[in-house]
Structure 1
Amino acid sequence: MTTPIKKGEIEQAPTPQNTPASVSGSYLNKAQPPSIPTTIKEDEELRQKLLTNPVLLSAIQGKLNTLIGQDSGYFDQLPMIVKNRVYGLKSLQEEQLKLDMDFQRELFELEKKYQKKLKPLYESRRELVKGLKEPSKQQIEDGRILVEGEDDDEPKEDKIEEVEETAEEDSEGIPSFWLTALENLNPVSDLISDRDADALKFLDNVRMEYLKTPGFKLIFEFKPNEFFKNEELTKTYYYQKELGYSGDFIYDHAEGCEIDWKDNEHNVTITVETRKQRNKHTMQVRTIKKLTPIDSFFNFFDPPKPPASDEDGEEEKEDKDASAQNAENEGDEEGDEGEGDTDLEQRLQMDYEVGELIKDKLIPRAVDWFTGEALQYEYDNGEEEEDDEFNEEDEEDEEDEEDEDESKEGDDADHTKKATKVQPQECKQQ
């Protein structure tokens, strides 16, 4: 029998306020423990610990990398009837990919068809650039209207006659036409050095031909010059026969041509350093020339080679392993090899992009790159204007805040009756 509560001991009665959490059936043992919120300071301390412990950070990153691209297992847990529907979708997608492949092949043939129709126009352009013929009166007038716009104040015939009178005073053809066009086309212009420009002045024409297999060839025609004996320099880009997952042709590799330089002094891809050496025994002096490769646009015709496959590159791999064993520091070589792979990928990507730019932009719009008109289509001026507008609004807000601060300081100065002078804020350069 429960002992009755005596008078004066009512505060000791078992209530929710004084009942311990260990009592069976109490609601307190079911409550969640209080959580301590994470503060910015704790996050910063954790970040500093990770930065000072690269081994732990590397282990975490390696674990996260293993989770990328992993299947969640959701499909395996679906009922069989749902899986069958997914299999049906996969079959439909395969039929779609086949149609995409047919579309890309027909599109490639269509491009080749219209390339043949463009050939006479490109041939006429080559003759005008080289000065083999002059444009007709109608071509002059149509081109003038495209450049300067329509002008009704002056008769068309007078302007045509004026052009014909001054044409005889001009030099043959259009000097440095292709050099100027290339120098206006980024990132091609970044590849052209001063020595390259001297050689590219002899560039007469740039044209493109499609291959029978997916791919294209770039052809650079030169007139006789003092640098090399080649009349044409070519660069061929090959695509894989099978289409990629996106339904487009995938770039495979490129092949250049050998440039027959007349001598090392005119080879713009190297520098020649001349040094003299004296024999210790015979005291005879001999001259040694050291050839050092340098960056040049003409390296474009010696493209980087993609990594060889396992079967094709076994001998190369053995040579690399032998050289690695003879090296002094294996760790440094492994780091250099990783950097070399990254550099190779970047050079392959840049080489392909330059070829595509010449094919898709330079050749079809050569005159616009020569005049510089094409440059206005390379940048989105609208976004820049919007940014300027936001900057102006921000400047106005800053000026308003400065005025308010100055007025407050002035009021405080009047209130305290002190002759204090408000210091101007620093000017912000835009």
Structure 2
Amino acid sequence: MDKNDNVQAPPATGESSVADTQSTAAATSTPATALATPGFLQNVQQRLESMGDDLDLGALLAGSLPAEVVRRVNALRNIQVEHHKIEANFFEEVHALECRYLSKYKPLYEKRLNIVKGAYEPTDAEAKCAFDEDEADEEAKKAAEAGEKSDEKKKDEEKAVGIPEFWLQVFKNSDALSELIKEHDEPVLKHLIDVRLAMQDDAQYKGFTIEFEFTSNEYFSNTILTKSYELRTGPDETEPLSYEGPEIIKSKGCEIQWNKGKNITIKMVKKRQKHKSRGTIRVVTKEVQTESFFNFFTPPTVPEDADADLEDNEELQSLAADFEIGHMLRDSIVPKAVLYYTGEAGDEDDGEFDEDEDDEDDDDDDEDEDPEEDEDEGHHHHHHGGGKGGHHHGGGGGKHGPPGGSQGKPKGGKHGSAGGANGAGQQPECKQQ
């Protein structure tokens, strides 16, 4: 029985349904007298906890409570559903508010972009942090004592344009993103000059898009890469009582237009194949997928089996990690990029990214011996480890909660407001997958 189905009262047969841990007298009592049994409700709670995911709430209550109490419990559950509907309206209004505030953030993010890429030089007043005056004075004294700057340092400062490798450093200072960045990703990410947000809020679609802007480079022809996330703000109709706030339900990447020979998400490996009958050996070259940050733009798909076990399903684990990274970019990394750059901020929910221990030895040998019939072997797909799929957002991404309501953060932790702006959108973007 589904845990959200109405609970049916037991037939009035008077047979026992009380747990074995109760006394003999209580075990043979009727449901009406069971309520008066010392420790009865505590025992029911223990049974609820022990049953876990196998919980059959209807059978448990029907076998433990009088019919009139079961009816009242069902009425309370229906009230809870109505509460969730009102709560969903609250979150929808918060999401709409965040969308409106993007216009206020936009000038700030545009100025940040111009400083990073060297298109704007901040004034002395803009570059002075009043809250760091004591520290700045101390640095000035040290500089004066050291005398004039060396000629080499002066030359370096003259060469520097904007803030070189700003976003690469931001990503490397995030535990979650640094795990995705491989050595061959860094030369490409040095061309990343902006990461911004666009929010969608209409009757048919609610969500957000993360836009990654790159300077012209030798690796791909795209100027902007995108990653979109779709939100569900209301309860799931099939499980309304499990509602915990807005959640990401789907993500969509884009097609990267790699230049010939520059696709860092794949590598060519040589395979030795032995003919079954003749015993001859030939060497073939195959294309296999390798680990890369840019696999982020080819997200995993939602598995058809919604009841699949997370621990046994790599697709679910990859999907959960993808959703979590999208949330972190939206709510923390993009709004507080400079604090990640300086190391003053870190991932708010490091606990959501468990370290995986791999006991298997790494195999760096690119030559394997395969049976000849395996020549058309499929590509290997990179998976991101992570938590549970269907990522929940408190207050549609903000640290908000309705009066007396849930902030909806059991899987997603704290959710700062989404401070992004659409920014410049004239450049050619990559195609959505």
TM-score over 0.5 (shorter chain): yes
Matched, 1:246 2:217: no
Matched, 1:68 2:68: no
**Cα distance in 2 for residues equivalent to 1:192 and 1:154:** 37
**Cα distance in 2 for residues equivalent to 1:371 and 1:340:** 36
Contact 1:275–1:288 under 8 Å retained in 2? yes
Shift of 1:357: 1.4
Supply the AA of the counterpart residue of 2:227.
K
Partner of 1:342: 313
Matched, 1:352 2:348: no
> Aligned with 2:219: secondary structure?
coil
Partner of 1:290: 286
Task: Return closer, same or farther for 1:84/1:65 CA change in 2, 3 Å cut-off.
Answer: closer
Matched, 1:304 2:300: yes
Contact 1:235–1:254 under 8 Å retained in 2? yes
**Cα distance in 2 for residues equivalent to 1:290 and 1:80:** 67
How does the TM-score come out when normalised to structure 1?
0.56
1:216-295 to 2 correspondence within 5 Å? 216-240=208-232, 242-244=234-236, 245-264=242-261, 266-273=262-269, 289-295=285-291
Task: Return closer, same or farther for 1:80/1:201 CA change in 2, 3 Å cut-off.
Answer: same
Shift of 1:146: 3.6
Higher relative contact order (CA 8 A, sep 6+): 2
Deviations 1:276-320, CA, capped at 9 Å, x for gaps? 99xxxxxxxx9964222100000000001112379xxxxxxxxxx
**Cα distance in 2 for residues equivalent to 1:287 and 1:79:** 74
Partner of 1:401: none
Partner of 1:108: 95
1:50-61 to 2 correspondence within 5 Å? none
**Cα distance in 1 for residues equivalent to 2:158 and 2:53:** 72
Partner of 2:158: 169
Contact 1:208–1:219 under 8 Å retained in 2? yes
Supply the AA of the counterpart residue of 2:215.
K
Supply the AA of the counterpart residue of 1:262.
N
| Aligned CA-pair RMSD | 3.8
Contact 2:233–2:245 under 8 Å retained in 1? no
> Aligned with 2:267: secondary structure?
strand
Shift of 1:68: 3.1
**Cα distance in 1 for residues equivalent to 2:321 and 2:221:** 27
1:376-415 to 2 correspondence within 5 Å? none
Supply the AA of the counterpart residue of 2:245.
D
Shift of 1:214: 2.1
Shift of 1:338: 8.9
**Cα distance in 2 for residues equivalent to 1:191 and 1:257:** 18
Deviations 1:88-144, CA, capped at 9 Å, x for gaps? 43343233222101101001111112222111101100000000001122211127x
Contact 2:212–2:224 under 8 Å retained in 1? yes
Supply the AA of the counterpart residue of 2:198.
E
Percent of residue pairs bearing the same amino acid type? 34
> Aligned with 2:345: secondary structure?
helix
1:365-380 to 2 correspondence within 5 Å? 365-375=336-346
**Cα distance in 1 for residues equivalent to 2:264 and 2:139:** 52
**Cα distance in 2 for residues equivalent to 1:118 and 1:250:** 24
Supply the AA of the counterpart residue of 2:86.
L
Contact 1:243–1:250 under 8 Å retained in 2? no
Shift of 1:250: 2.5
Listed as ranges, the gaps of 5+ residues in structure 1 are 1-63, 278-285, 311-336, 381-430
Task: Return closer, same or farther for 1:222/1:210 CA change in 2, 3 Å cut-off.
Answer: same
Supply the AA of the counterpart residue of 1:117.
K
Partner of 1:130: 117
Matched, 1:196 2:188: no
**Cα distance in 2 for residues equivalent to 1:230 and 1:129:** 20
**Cα distance in 1 for residues equivalent to 2:327 and 2:348:** 17
**Cα distance in 2 for residues equivalent to 1:67 and 1:289:** 47
State the aligned residue count: 275
> Aligned with 1:267: secondary structure?
coil
How does the TM-score come out when normalised to structure 2?
0.55
Contact 1:101–1:247 under 8 Å retained in 2? no
1:73-84 to 2 correspondence within 5 Å? 73-75=60-62, 78-79=65-66, 81-84=68-71
Contact 1:207–1:218 under 8 Å retained in 2? yes
Supply the AA of the counterpart residue of 1:192.
I
Task: Return closer, same or farther for 1:308/1:148 CA change in 2, 3 Å cut-off.
Answer: farther
